[in-house]
């Protein structure tokens, strides 16, 4: 794919009535690497949440493939994009393999589901967590959790 994947225009996000993100215009192309850099509290996570469709903007628009992120059904949106958050919490003692398998949820009931085992194994190898496969996620160090979370989004195999 080529061209603009995400188009952001006049984006504003408010949290608790306070403007956190204002006046953002941005085009993100397929394959482009983009870094959000700024001080704590600047609105980076809020901007990312709005662009990903996980937070409704107060005003402005976010388009994914020329369609508002708010119009995408949740499962279809999960097939188009994945998000790696800065913290990774799992409340139950799921194994690392089970957490990585959760990345395949958007593909349940689809032809692509047949590829689950390969997708999970490849993602775990790429994130260097194969040796942690049977360990409970709750017993991992912060760095191990980050790598397992990365494996989960790699296994998601977004379009």
The DSSP-derived string for 32-69 is --------TTSSHHHHHHHHHTSS--SEEEEEETTEEG
Go through the domains of the chain in sequence order and give each one's CATH number.
4-71 (3.40.50.300), 96-156 (no CATH)
Please tell me the pTM assigned to this model.
Answer: 0.73
Question: No. of H helices and E strands in the chain?
Answer: 5, 4
Confidence tier at 83 by pLDDT (50, 70, 90): confident
Question: Token digits for 4?
Answer: 């603009």
Q: For 47-61, 102-116, 125-139, which range has the lowest pLDDT when averaged over its residues?
A: 102-116
Mean pLDDT, the chain, integer:
89
pLDDT digits (tens, 9 = 90+) for 17-40: 999 999 999 999 988 888 889 999
């Amino acid at each position: 794919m080529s061209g603009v994947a995400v188009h952001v225009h006049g984006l504003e996000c408010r949290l608790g009535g306070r403007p956190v993100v204002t006046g953002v215009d941005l085009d993100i192309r397929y394959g482009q690497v983009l870094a959000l850099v700024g001080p704590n509290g600047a609105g980076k996570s809020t901007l990312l949440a709005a662009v990903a469709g996980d937070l409704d903007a107060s005003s402005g628009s976010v388009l994914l493939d020329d369609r508002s992120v708010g119009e995408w059904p949740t499962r279809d949106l999960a097939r188009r994009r994945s998000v790696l958050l800065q913290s990774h919490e799992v409340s139950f003692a799921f194994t690392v393999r089970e957490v990585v398998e959760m990345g395949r949820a958007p593909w349940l009931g689809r032809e692509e589901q047949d590829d689950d085992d390969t997708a999970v194994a490849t993602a775990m190898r790429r994130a260097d967590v194969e040796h942690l496969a049977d360990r409970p996620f709750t017993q991992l160090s912060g760095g191990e959790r980050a790598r397992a979370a990365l494996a989960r989004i790699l296994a998601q195999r977004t379009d």
